[in-house]
């Protein structure tokens, strides 16, 4: 029987009570990991709370012979994120992997979005990812200072909506774009402590996306199961991925792509400050040479 890739590794997964997070938890456990299943147990828009989803996944793992505990902390709060990381270390004696997956949706057009809609989505996605990352990084830094070697991994969750843009998701897209940038920065900061940081932009049919017609249509012709996302995440959480950091991967069905971020394109300069009249010619000329922005699926349309 082949060795399991994550035997003995302690993994924290946020938003693991349903959908993609649940698939991650089961997949890591199947590879021998000890899993902390975090889920507040709220509705898709973040309302309410229940211990049921996290406990059900933890019970499923233990019933199959694995090791898991449930956690219902609100990771959008500083204290909740700290408690989550603390529970992992206290229960299993260490922490090796963090998968930031928790999320909610409150889709609105910009002109109808309310302040609570914005704050709630930014809070769970962007602040929640940072808060959990912060407390995990502090733990790994302390270990490094004490002379221990880390083989640690962080896998964040961004989205095509944040990388390519999707109308009606200004709050969600802004949070997910922030997570992608945070991933690149964290990878550079934490490398010295033996920590890699990567992100995935998954496409799957879950309770978050089941009412999107485009998603239902795509699922009818291909595999958009949450289970299809997890193999890459488990690999990124294993020791085998130590050379990979600061990268964002798109993943859906049986397809994986390396997403290429912002780069300098066509440019022009001169010895004196630009005046507005000159820019009326210069800027269109630059744009004519530049690659167009990607569409919502991440593809470039040469016709604009």
Catalytic residues: 159, 172, 176
Cα dihedral: 163, 164, 169, 173 (round 10): 10
**Residue pair 39/69 in contact by the 8 Å Cβ criterion:** no
**Residue pair 154/100 in contact by the 8 Å Cβ criterion:** yes
Contacts of 93 (CB under 8 A, 6+ apart): 10
Q: What whole-number distance in Å separates Cα of residue 57 and Cα of residue 26?
A: 8
**Residue pair 36/11 in contact by the 8 Å Cβ criterion:** yes
How is residue 192 annotated by DSSP? G
Q: Which residue has the tokens 């969600």?
A: 172
């Amino acid at each position: 029987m082949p060795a399991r890739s994550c035997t003995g590794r302690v993994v924290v997964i946020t938003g693991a009570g349903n959908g993609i997070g649940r698939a991650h938890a089961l997949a890591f456990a199947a590879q021998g990991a000890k899993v902390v299943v975090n889920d507040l147990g709220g509705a898709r828009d973040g309302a309410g709370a229940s211990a049921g989803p996290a406990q059900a996944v933890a019970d499923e793992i233990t019933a199959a012979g694995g090791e898991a505990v449930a956690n219902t902390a609100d990771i959008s709060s500083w204290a909740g994120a700290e408690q989550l990381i603390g529970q992992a270390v206290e229960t299993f004696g260490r922490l090796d992997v963090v998968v930031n997956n928790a999320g909610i949706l409150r889709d609105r057009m910009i002109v109808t979005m309310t302040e609570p809609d914005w704050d709630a989505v930014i809070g769970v996605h962007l602040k929640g990812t940072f808060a959990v990352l912060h407390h995990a990084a502090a733990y790994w830094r302390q270990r490094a200072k004490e002379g221990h070697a880390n083989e640690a991994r962080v896998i964040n969750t961004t989205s095509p909506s944040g990388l390519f843009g999707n109308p009606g998701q200004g709050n969600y897209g802004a949070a997910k774009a922030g997570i992608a940038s945070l991933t690149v920065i964290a990878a550079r900061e934490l490398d010295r402590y033996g920590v890699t940081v990567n992100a995935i932009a998954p496409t799957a049919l879950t309770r978050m996306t089941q009412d999107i017609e485009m998603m239902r249509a795509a699922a009818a012709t291909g595999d958009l199961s949450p289970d299809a996302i997890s193999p890459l995440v488990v690999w990124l959480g294993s020791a085998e991925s130590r050379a990979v950091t600061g990268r964002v991967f798109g993943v859906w069905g049986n397809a994986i792509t390396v997403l290429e971020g912002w780069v300098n394109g066509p440019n022009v300069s001169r010895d004196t400050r630009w005046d507005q009249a000159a820019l009326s010619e210069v800027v269109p000329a630059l744009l004519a040479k530049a690659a167009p922005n990607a569409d919502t699926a991440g593809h470039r349309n040469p016709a604009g």
